[in-house]
């Protein structure tokens, strides 16, 4: 599965215009890492990672392999855009959806309380019925 990586108008990426730097930045962001974190883990300067992502320079082969492992992508994808890469982030619910989820939770909680109340009333009615018989 080839994952997309160069920015397009819809905010995602396409293989046709992606560069190594684009794929590197997308994979880093996909892992939620900063340039400084990647640099520290690889033993290079933050400026070096920034240059790689800007396509001003390229990492050596041993660093590419380390980058692929660190960022959870295949070396092939990092170099060519083919193979296992970064999947698009799932859509996050907007403010209105989050508000509806909270409302649903509140309603469900109310239903649970009512259900317990109904059970107690039914139990009392059964006891009254047994006493009357």
- Tens of pLDDT along 26-60? 899 988 999 999 999 999 999 999 999 999 999 99
How high is the pLDDT of residue 9? 47
Residue 72: is its pLDDT beyond 80?
yes
Average pLDDT over residues 88-109: 78
Kind plus residue range of the DSSP H or E element containing 13 = strand 13-14
Confidence of residue 6 (pLDDT cuts 50, 70, 90): very low
Could you state, in order of their start, the residue ranges of all structural domains in the chain? 6-80, 91-133
Confidence of residue 123 (pLDDT cuts 50, 70, 90): very high
CATH fold label, 6-80: 434 Repressor (Amino-terminal Domain) (1.10.260)
Average pLDDT over residues 91-120: 85
Residue 12, classified by CB atoms within 10 Å of its CB into exposed (0-12), middle (13-18) or buried (19+), is middle
- Asked whether the beta carbons of 68 and 75 are under 8 A apart, the reply is yes
Residue 83, Ramachandran bin (φ over 0: left; ψ between -120 and 50: alpha; else beta): left
Q: What are the beta bridge partners of residue 13?
A: 7
């Amino acid at each position: 599965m080839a994952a997309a990586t160069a920015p397009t108008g819809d905010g995602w990426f396409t293989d046709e215009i992606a560069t190594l730097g684009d794929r590197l930045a997308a994979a880093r962001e996909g892992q939620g890492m900063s340039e400084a974190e990647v640099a520290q883990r690889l033993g290079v300067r933050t400026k070096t990672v920034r240059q790689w992502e800007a396509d001003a320079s390229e990492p050596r082969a041993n660093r590419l392999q380390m980058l692929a492992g660190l960022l959870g992508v295949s070396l092939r994808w990092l170099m060519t855009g083919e193979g296992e890469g970064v999947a698009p982030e799932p859509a996050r619910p907007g403010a209105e959806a989050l508000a509806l989820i909270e409302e649903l939770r509140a309603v469900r909680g109310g239903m649970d309380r009512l259900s317990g109340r109904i059970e107690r009333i039914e139990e009392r009615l059964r006891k009254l019925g047994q006493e009357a018989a």
